[in-house]
Structure 1
Amino acid sequence: MSDSRSALLVIGSGLKLYREYLVKSAAARARRAGHALVLVNNLKPTWQHEYFDEISVVNVFDHALLAEAARDVATRFSIAGVLCWDEPLVMPAAELAVEFGVPGLGLPGVQGCRDKYSARTRLTEGGLLQPGFAMSADVSEARAAADRIGYPVVVKPRALGASMGVVLARNEQELQDAFRVASDASLVGDEAFRGGAIVEEYAVGPEISVDGAVHQGEYLPMFVARKRTGGHPYFEEIGHVVDADDPLMSDAALMDTLARAHRVLGIEDGITHSEVRLTDRGPLIIEINGRVGGDLIPFLGKLATGIDPGEVMVDVALDNRPDIVPESRGVVGIRFGYPQHDCLVRSVQLPEQAPGLVTASAMVEPGTTLRLPPGGYIARHSFVVCHADDSVTCEEHLQAATDQVVLDAEVIAPKPAGSMLEMPAGLLEVDK
């Protein structure tokens, strides 16, 4: 452990399965730079002890309590930087960075990342291609907005991640159900953004994501992930493929759009995860998140390109321009296993060998309840990661490995309409 009295403050560790690889790299980078790593977390630490010099446990979703805990850390350490990769916490983390006078997304930047309505408004005013959209407080406003925009429309909460509460509505009848789902889902988010929903034009085209760093306002793209979604009319993310030689990394229109969008939103320093539709009118920004990608996308990027997002996060937090030159050239993908129905898991069997298999893991314990949208989200029982020399072969490897996953589960009835949605264990839970 470091003896330094300066520290990088980490707001929320996230779940081990999704984030330990980032924590490991960030901890090593921080200590090489002479800083301790201090965590403020919602759950009592287990695996985190190996990486952090000090850990405080508070209800981080109560932003006042989080700020109080962070200020307490600042009485013992000089805060050299603030790190956060947990979507519900990026806003208070950015506010703390401003308070401590260290690099961060900035207040306008984090507002543009967290508040989808603010982002749509500002990107439209900035001259970037955007869908028609409107914020709706109730079903009647949503119906009027959809009539103006034209069906099909996407209905979504104002400030959630992981496609939670995002629904496609093809007509007025579907719109009413979609609005209820989106508005109800918003209730698990920040209080300021609860209730109502955004109604927006459905953008047609392949969807991708781009993870990049921002250093003093300069946008530095790291890697592109091609996204696979399912669960119609919802947008559950079931897989991603990162190709170090993806031609989109040298697509001038895409990269110019991303750089302009970051400037318009006023993002200063940090890591972002941008979601983009490649439409026949050009690249259309769906949203820019003020954190690295979820779904192990940064892990895929590291394996495919050699760029380590954990190290890049620390560099940017310490106001150093990161090195984002790829060190390797590969293709790596992930595929998540979802049940066909709401269920109670008995067991998950994984492939031990498969072409290109890097790793496979169960994501739940026996006895776990998995709820599909709209009763729950991210209802994954497993994942497989595969590599290949090209994207087509990688997709073939992923399908072959996925076909070997066996879920033994008891089908259960869906939750009644209007019930509070269920999330994966640990995601929004708090230890008292």
Structure 2
Amino acid sequence: MHILMIECNPNGIAGIANALELGHDVTLVSVDPDFYLGVSPLAEAAYAHPNCQVVKSEQAFSIEELTALARRLHAENPIHGVTTYSEYHTVHTAAVAEALGLPGMSVEGARNARHKHLTRLTLDGTGVRQPRFAHVADADDPAAVEAAVREIGFPCVVKPSDGTASLHVLHLKDEDDLRAYLADLADVADYGRGVRRIPDVLIEEFVTGELISVESCVLGRGEVVNLGLTDRPLSGFPYFIEMGATYFSGHPLQDELFAMTTRVLDELGVDFGFIHTEFLLGPDGPVLCEVNGRLIGGIVPTLMQLSSGVDPYLEVIRQALGERPELPFPGETTAGGHWFGAPVAGTVDSIGFEALQDLPGFHDALAYKKAGTRVTRLSTSNFDWIGHVIFTGADRTEVNKRCEEALDLIDLRMKLEVAR
């Protein structure tokens, strides 16, 4: 079978490697294929595999150009499935699958999930609990932004409609914060690798509470299977950086969260694939944060596999090929991980994990940055991470305790930048 992968993400290269190992052909289309060589230890071997074709396309973020490219690739070697692990490319994947007559999410459902203002507007008035919000169609229109902030009031949260990984999501406490944010955002024309920013932003009521997500698989319209929950501890204002994750079941609000997720996905028209839906556990109950129309990213697919014995990266591909996926429900083992970053800006000398190897429940530790790489202080988004640790245990409490203790044992050595 031939799989078309439209971009990817660093951890998702494992899915490409798994598909190649099973004998599938994989074509990866990317604006910058070399990016994955720098962030995934599996990329070099995957690229060198005889069944892997890597196509560099400067127009991979243009749906029209991408669809034309997919038709050419399909004519050369018939494509049997189209997928992505990239949040930025879920709409593109849906459009190409539709154009080729292959399994995939409806384009409308993909757009409603991908663009946060469409999520909010589509669900407005349906009874789904959301923060109070105001949609601004153009962040470069200061009068419109100021009117939206006045409507919602301080403190509030501002976020680009098409962002991901908490990038450019900020807690605003006053007018000075707002002016600084808009000045910074005006300089952001794209998110890198050809991904252009749309002008829409949301101003939202600031909701306090634990961040938790529901991991689901939609087998078809109205066939939502809710698998388990992922907790998402956050670090520090004014930004929202995810610092850990645990995949589990059994939360006191699980039934309500599952029911809300099913309703949200049905209302949005999300009708295919693995889906990641985030909620804030506010004082009046769960409040929808956002919907991501793809498999959860980062280390969580690994946590899902450790707990369930099922590789979700591979099941994404199987579903794209028209097969019924095996579903990674949480098992008796709980798996969790914590990310870490640098306390100051500087250049990495080394990151050592030797002291972690014999700890109970230790599974994995990985540094994302090589020696000689300049890093920023962990401060603004998930892109500031420089590594992770993963542990297993009997429950969330044990896993989180093990992860937190391990962070103190990481040997991070850096050359510091001296202010002049």
> Take 1:11 and 1:107, find their aligned partners in 2: how far apart are those partners?
15
Q: Are the aligned partners of 1:272 and 1:292 in contact in 2 as well (CA < 8 Å)?
A: yes
Partner of 2:40: none
- Other structure's SS at 1:407 match: strand
Shift of 1:326: 3.5
**Matched residue type, 2:25:** A
**Which of 7, 10, 15 is equivalent to 2:2?**
7
Describe the SS at the equivalent of 1:74.
helix
- Give the conservation status (yes or no) of the 8 Å contact 1:182–1:196: no
Contact in 2 for aligned 1:347/1:366 (Cα 8 Å)? yes
With 283-292 and 51-60 compared, the bigger mean Cα shift is at: 51-60
Which residue is equivalent to 2:123?
A: 123
SS at match of 2:75: coil
Contact 1:208 1:225 in 2 (8 A): yes
Q: Is the 8 A contact 1:154 1:202 kept in 2?
A: yes
In the TM superposition, what are the counterparts of 1:88-99 in structure 2 within 5 Å?
88-99=88-99
Q: Is the CA contact 1:39–1:52 (under 8 Å) kept in the aligned structure 2?
A: no
Secondary structure of 2:224's counterpart equals strand
Q: Tell me whether 1:169 sits opposite 2:168 in the alignment.
A: no
Is the 2:333–2:394 Cα contact (8 Å) retained in structure 1?
yes
Counterpart code for 1:55: V
One-letter amino acid matched to 2:374 = T
CA distance in 2, matches of 1:164, 1:103: 31
Q: How far has the Cα of 1:335 moved from its partner?
A: 0.9
Question: Does 2:347 correspond to 1:341?
Answer: no
Q: Which segments of 5 or more consecutive residues in structure 1 lack a partner in the other structure? A: 1-5, 415-432
Worse-superposed segment, 367-376 or 352-361: 367-376
Letter in 2 for 1:179: L
Measured after TM superposition, the shift of residue 84 of structure 1 is: 0.5
Contact 1:155–1:179 under 8 Å retained in 2: no
Q: Any conservation in 2 of the 1:8–1:83 contact (CA below 8 Å)? A: yes
**Structure 1 Cα separation of the partners of residues 417 and 121 of structure 2:** 42
Per-residue deviation at 1:275?
Answer: 1.1
State how 1:34-183 maps to structure 2 within 5 Å. Answer: 36-41=25-30, 42-44=32-34, 46-49=44-47, 50=49, 52-59=51-58, 60-136=60-136, 137=139, 138-182=141-185
Closer/same/farther in 2, CA of residues 295 and 182 from structure 1, 3 Å limit: farther
Tell me the SS of whatever aligns to 2:383: coil
Trace 1:225-264 onto structure 2 (pairs within 5 A).
225-243=230-248, 245-247=249-251, 251-264=254-267
Shift of 1:314: 2.5
Shift in CA distance, 111/366, structure 1 to aligned 2, threshold 3 Å: same
The reply to whether residue 388 of structure 1 matches residue 393 of structure 2 is: yes
Give a deviation string over 1:15-66, Cα, whole Å, max 9, x none: 2xx223333444456x4xxx53332233156232348443322233354543
Q: Distance in 1 between matches of 2:357 and 2:263?
A: 45
Between 1:365-374 and 1:75-84, the stretch displaced more is 365-374
SS in 1 for 2:370: coil
SS of the counterpart of 1:79?
coil
Residue 191 to residue 406, structure 1, CA distance change in 2 (3 Å): closer
Map of 1:22 onto structure 2: 15
Match of 1:361 among 344, 363, 366: 366
Q: Distance in 1 between matches of 2:126 and 2:324?
A: 26
Task: Trace 1:300-319 onto structure 2 (pairs within 5 A).
Answer: 300-319=303-322
Q: 1:214 aligns with which of 204, 218, 230?
A: 218
Cα distance, 1:331 vs structure 2: 1.1
CA distance in 2, matches of 1:173, 1:92: 37
Provide the C-alpha distance between the structure 2 equivalents of 1:93 and 1:27, rounded to a whole number of angstroms.
20
- Counterpart CA distance in 1 for 2:82 and 2:218 is 14
Which range is displaced more, 52-61 or 95-104? 52-61
Whether contact under 8 Å (2:341, 2:387) holds in the other structure is yes
1:91–1:371: structure 2 CA closer, same or farther, 3 Å change rule? Answer: farther
Gaps of 5+ in 2: 35-42
Identity among equivalent positions (%) equals 25
Q: TM-score, normalised by structure 2?
A: 0.87
> Is residue 339–residue 385 contact of structure 2 (8 Å, CA) maintained in 1?
yes
Contact 1:187–1:195 under 8 Å retained in 2: no
* 1: CA distance, partners of 2:251 / 2:179: 40
The letter of the residue matching 2:115 is D
C-alpha RMSD of matched pairs (Å)? 2.6
Q: Which moved more, 1:168-177 or 1:328-337?
A: 168-177
Contact 1:37 1:51 in 2 (8 A): no
The answer to whether the 8 A contact 1:222-1:307 is kept is no
How many Å apart are 1:374 and its aligned residue? Answer: 7.3
